């Protein structure tokens, strides 16, 4: 086994900044959604994805694929959201094996109420802090990093 290619001082600092961003941004997003909409980022993600699939229902397996989440995570979250009255599940109209997910009236009201403040959070923290050129560079960098993880079958 060869010796690891250790990070130099600049790379170490960049790694630490990136790591803190990876851990900190989701916490900030969860705090914003909890404060402004009394929901988690997972719940918001589900409501947004299902609302964008409307007027048709979204199959639970397709939702898991769309969000790139494990099916068990989606299933547990859907159960909690159904108990809160935000979504309803029924046997799939396609084949009866899967579940179709639809927003209830309360779910629609919740996403419509939450979206404006959440979009403001995203705009103010991500887009307003970067120039147009920086946004394009950031997008390109994220794409490269994701591709590297996909190539190593880690994504």
Mean pLDDT on 95-106:
86
User: What is the third-level CATH fold of 12-151?
Assistant: Arc Repressor Mutant, subunit A (1.10.10)
Does a cis peptide bond (omega within 30 degrees of 0) precede residue 56? Answer: no
Dihedral, CA of residue 26, residue 28, residue 32 and residue 34, to nearest 10: 70
Average pLDDT value over all residues in the chain: 93
Confidence of residue 149 (pLDDT cuts 50, 70, 90): very high
What count of residues does the chain have? Answer: 155
Alpha helices in 38-70 (DSSP H): 41-53, 60-67
Q: Please, what's the b/e burial string for 82-108 (b: 16 or more CB within 10 A of its CB; e: otherwise)? A: eeeebbbbeebeeeeeebbbbbeeebb
pLDDT tens for residues 26-53? 999 999 999 999 999 999 999 999 999 9
Mean pLDDT on 116-139:
97
Residue % of the chain over a pLDDT of 70: 97
pLDDT tens for residues 57-88? 899 999 999 999 999 999 999 999 999 999 99
Instruction: Please say whether the beta carbons of 98 and 71 come within 8 A.
Output: no
Predicted model pTM: 0.86
Nearest Cα to Cα of residue 78 among 63, 65, 93: 63
DSSP 8-class letter at 124: I
pLDDT at 96 > cutoff 70: no
- pLDDT value of residue 95: 67
Instruction: Please say whether the beta carbons of 85 and 10 come within 8 A.
Output: no
- pLDDT value of residue 99: 86
The domain spans of the chain are 12-151
- pLDDT value of residue 148: 94
Could you give the CA distance from residue 63 to residue 71 in angstroms, rounded to a whole number?
9
What sign for the dihedral angle of Cα 37, 42, 46, 49? Answer: positive
Mean pLDDT on 107-122:
97
């Amino acid at each position: 086994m060869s010796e690891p290619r250790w990070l130099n001082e600049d790379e170490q600092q960049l790694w630490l900044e990136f790591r803190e961003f990876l851990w900190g941004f989701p916490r900030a997003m969860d705090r914003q959604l909890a404060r402004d909409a009394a929901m988690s980022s997972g719940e918001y993600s589900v409501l947004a994805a299902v609302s964008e699939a409307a007027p048709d229902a979204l199959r639970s397996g397709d939702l898991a694929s769309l969000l790139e989440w494990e099916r068990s995570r989606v299933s547990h979250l859907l159960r909690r959201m159904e108990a809160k009255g935000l979504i309803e599940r029924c046997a799939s109209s396609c084949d009866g094996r899967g579940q179709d997910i639809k927003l209830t009236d309360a779910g629609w009201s919740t996403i419509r109420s939450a979206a404006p403040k959440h979009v403001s959070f995203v705009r103010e923290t991500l887009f307003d802090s970067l120039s147009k050129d920086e946004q394009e560079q950031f997008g390109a960098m994220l794409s490269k990093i994701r591709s590297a993880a996909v190539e190593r079958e880690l994504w």
